[in-house]
Amino acid sequence: MSSRVIEQAIWTESGGYRIVTAKRSIGQRITGLPGAVWRRLLHQWALFRARRLSLARTAAQSPRRLLVLCYGNIYRSPFVAAWLGTRLAGQPGFEIRSAGFHHVPARPSPREYVRLASDYRIDLEPHRSRLVEPADLEWAEAIVIMDRYNWERLRPSGADVQGKIIWLGAFGGTGTIEIEDPYALPQPRVQAIVEQMQVAADGLAHRLLGGNGRA
């Protein structure tokens, strides 16, 4: 790749970004930063903007119908949907669904993950994965995503859907808003991801109930 061509993170009002090839930016020319450093800065700025948009949307829209998405719908989204269900139980009007993008439906959560979830009093034993449908996207008032891959999969769905997207990690108060896919990761890392999801889901529930959430 030419030194005058870099990949730039282009912000959108949907709370995500896309990567495009563009001529060397004015900012890079002014700062003199190498392309790799400039891309990292753009990436961090993109995630910062996604966090702010997520917080703003929950405050402005007060969503009650929540669709929680991840890639496979066997790890992250069923846990978060169940955890939110416990935190929002008894509150009128809340409905929560989970789904994913994997083309094979009706898959169970892995046994070791079911056992881990049970430590948090979440029962994933009966859960079976489900492919997200256009009707789910229309039904949802907020679409809770985990990472850039989820956002990219939703991008072709149009502005109405993109305007519902919130990033779960925006409510966790950590350095990143992306929540890594636990698939094939060692158990200590999976445990850390579950704890990250728990904290972020607590922050989201607090926000939905009228609190300030987590910045």
What are the tens digits of pLDDT across the range 61-72? 899 999 999 999
H-helix segments, the chain: 26-31, 35-61, 76-87, 111-118, 134-139, 148-154, 159-162, 187-208
Residue 36: the pLDDT is 74
Q: Which domains does the chain have, with CATH numbers?
A: 5-55 (no CATH), 62-208 (3.40.50.2300)
Ranges of the chain with pLDDT below 50: 1-15, 17-24, 26-28, 30, 214-215
Half-sphere exposure (Cβ direction) of 38: Cα atoms closer than 13 Å: 22
Token pair listed for 70: 């991840």
Query: Is the full-model pTM beyond 0.85?
Result: no
Give Cα separations from 200 to 19, 25, 143 (angstroms): 26, 35, 15
